[in-house]
């Protein structure tokens, strides 16, 4: 018998093998596409996250309104209603003084007497010169009257009569000069009595008996200083933004360290109506009654002006402003998270907060601590507000556990 080779037949038909290979290929392609897609998606997400992280994160706040009826506190310089240094009008030696510091004097009251023997001698000489001038005038007048009578009868020449008339006129002029000199020296004699120019209090005495007195303000120190303190003047330098609010009639209150808890009403009675170009301030004058003598000239006073409420004036923290070449600016954020730089006008500076007079709206979102690199139109990311404290957390804060 001949051996025949066995025929080996596959259990799987060829079509089934091809289907399996096709499925495997499709799965491989899907996996490849999925891998590429996931990488592209991850890269795009990473790019968005990187771009979002690159945006500056800012904190915003709303401006607040100035409180109604707020005080404007400024330093005040207290001065007497009238104050005058008393100088000597004649030279000599102080013979006596009658008033010391703190003495209340009346107008015309004698403060001191000056011994001026030279003035006395000059006054006596002037009186003698006046008597001589009077006698010369009387003689020339009598002579002129007689010569005018003789001229009427042609007993003397016209020339001689005119000479007598001229001599009388010259003697009359010399008489008037002598009288004026006597009056001048009489005034110098009266200046030996130093008197008070008005009712007040002697606040300084800078002389003593026997002291050499020189006439005139620039020739020596003042003898006395007299001040009228029944009413006091207070001078205040008001900054330019509030100059219009401190017109005549504006009420204010004065506070002194030596009188704690007590206010002294003092209205504005005068203003300079012009700003000092060096300080940009307006000088105003207030007056206060001092009949009881509680206040002293030269004192320091806190002047409290009650300012009217102004709804247009808003406040911001001091760390919201930018100082740039364009002027004072603030950075606001709109609904599209883009920055808008606004020029503003500053009012009062309270240290931690400042007033914004113009350029700011009440509903603006203002950036707190804006970076110097912030530009107009740049995009930012607004940080979420801090979470509100839980009920009772604020009360328990700081208590020992």
| Least confidently predicted of 170-184, 212-226, 361-375 | 212-226
Q: What is the rounded CA–CA span in Å between residue 181 and residue 189? A: 12
What pLDDT is recorded for position 254?
95
pLDDT tens profile 287-313: 999 988 899 999 999 999 887 665 567
Quickly name the fold that domain 117-190 has: Helix Hairpins (1.10.287)
Starting at the earlier edge strand, list the strands of the sheet with 92-97.
Answer: 193-195, 110-115, 92-97, 212-213
| Residue labelled with tokens 């009266």 | 190
User: Encoding tokens for residue 239?
Assistant: 């900054």
Asked, colleague to colleague, whether 57-68+311-382 and 117-190 share their fold, the answer is no
Q: Tell me the fold of 57-68+311-382.
A: 2.40.420
pTM over 0.85: no
On average, the pLDDT of the chain sits at 84
Give the whole-angstrom CA distance, residue 133 versus residue 136: 5
Stated length of the chain: 401
Q: What is the dihedral of CA 188, 192, 195, 201, to 10 degrees?
A: 130
Helix orientation angle between 158-190 and 117-152, rounded to the nearest 10 degrees? 160
Residue 59 phi/psi, 5° resolution? -110, 130
Distance CA 217, CA 199 (A): 22
Residue 111 has pLDDT above 90, yes or no: yes
**What is the model's pLDDT at position 52?**
55
What does DSSP say about strands 57-61 and 381-382: parallel, antiparallel, or unpaired? parallel
Whether the CB-CB separation of 327 and 359 falls below 8 Å is answered with no
Q: In what order do the strands lie in the sheet with 345-349?
A: 64-65, 314-317, 353-358, 345-349
CB under 8 Å to 73, separation ≥6 — which residues? 302, 303, 304, 305
Continuous H helices in 75-157: 117-152
Domain 226-306 has CATH 3.40.190.10: no
Strands 259-265 and 104-105: unpaired
Whether the Cβ atoms of residue 287 and residue 254 lie closer than 8 Å to each other = no
Segments making up each domain of the chain, as ranges: 57-68+311-382, 117-190, 226-306
What confidence category does residue 282 fall into, taking pLDDT thresholds of 50, 70 and 90? very high
- Residue 19 per-residue DSSP state: H
Q: Which residue has the higher pLDDT, 64 or 390?
A: 64
pLDDT recorded at residue 51:
55
CA pair distance 257, 259, nearest whole angstrom: 5
Lowest mean pLDDT among 181-195, 212-226, 262-276, 369-383: 212-226
Two structure tokens written together for 383: 């940080």
């Amino acid at each position: 018998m001949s051996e025949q080779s066995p025929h080996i037949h596959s259990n799987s038909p060829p079509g089934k093998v091809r289907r399996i290979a096709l499925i495997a290929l499709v799965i491989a392609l899907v996996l490849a596409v999925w891998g590429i897609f996931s990488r592209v998606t991850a890269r795009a997400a990473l790019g968005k996250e990187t771009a979002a992280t690159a945006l500056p994160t800012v904190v915003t706040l709303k401006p607040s309104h100035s409180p109604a009826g707020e005080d404007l506190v400024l330093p005040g310089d207290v001065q007497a209603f009238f104050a005058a240094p008393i100088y000597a009008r004649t030279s000599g030696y102080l013979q006596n003084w009658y008033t010391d510091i703190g003495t209340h004097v009346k107008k015309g009251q004698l403060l001191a007497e000056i011994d001026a023997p030279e003035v006395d001698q000059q006054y006596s000489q002037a009186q003698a010169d006046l008597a001589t001038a009077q006698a010369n005038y009387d003689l020339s007048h009598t002579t002129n009257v007689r010569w005018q009578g003789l001229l009427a009868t042609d007993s003397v020449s016209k020339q001689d009569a005119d000479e007598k008339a001229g001599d009388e006129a010259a003697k009359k002029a010399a008489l008037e000069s002598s009288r004026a000199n006597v009056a001048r020296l009489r005034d110098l004699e009266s200046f030996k009595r130093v008197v008070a120019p008005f009712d007040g209090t002697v606040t300084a005495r800078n002389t003593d008996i026997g002291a050499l007195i020189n006439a005139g303000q620039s020739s020596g120190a003042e003898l006395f200083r007299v001040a009228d303190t029944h009413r006091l003047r207070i001078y205040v330098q008001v900054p330019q933004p509030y100059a219009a609010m401190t017109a005549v009639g504006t009420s204010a209150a004065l506070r002194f360290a030596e009188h704690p808890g007590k206010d002294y009403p003092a209205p504005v009675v005068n203003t300079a109506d012009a700003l000092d170009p060096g300080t940009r301030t307006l000088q105003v004058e207030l007056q206060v009654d001092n009949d009881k003598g509680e206040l002293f000239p030269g004192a320091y006073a806190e002047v409290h002006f009650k300012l009217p409420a102004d709804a247009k004036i808003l406040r911001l923290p001091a760390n919201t402003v930018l100082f740039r070449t364009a002027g004072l600016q603030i950075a606001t954020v709109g609904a599209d998270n883009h920055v808008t730089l606004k020029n503003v006008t500053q009012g009062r500076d309270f240290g931690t907060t400042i007033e914004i007079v113009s350029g700011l709206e009440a509903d603006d979102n203002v950036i707190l601590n804006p970076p110097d690199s912030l530009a107009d139109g740049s995009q930012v990311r607004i940080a979420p507000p801090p979470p509100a404290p839980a009920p009772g957390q604020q009360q328990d804060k700081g208590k020992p556990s």
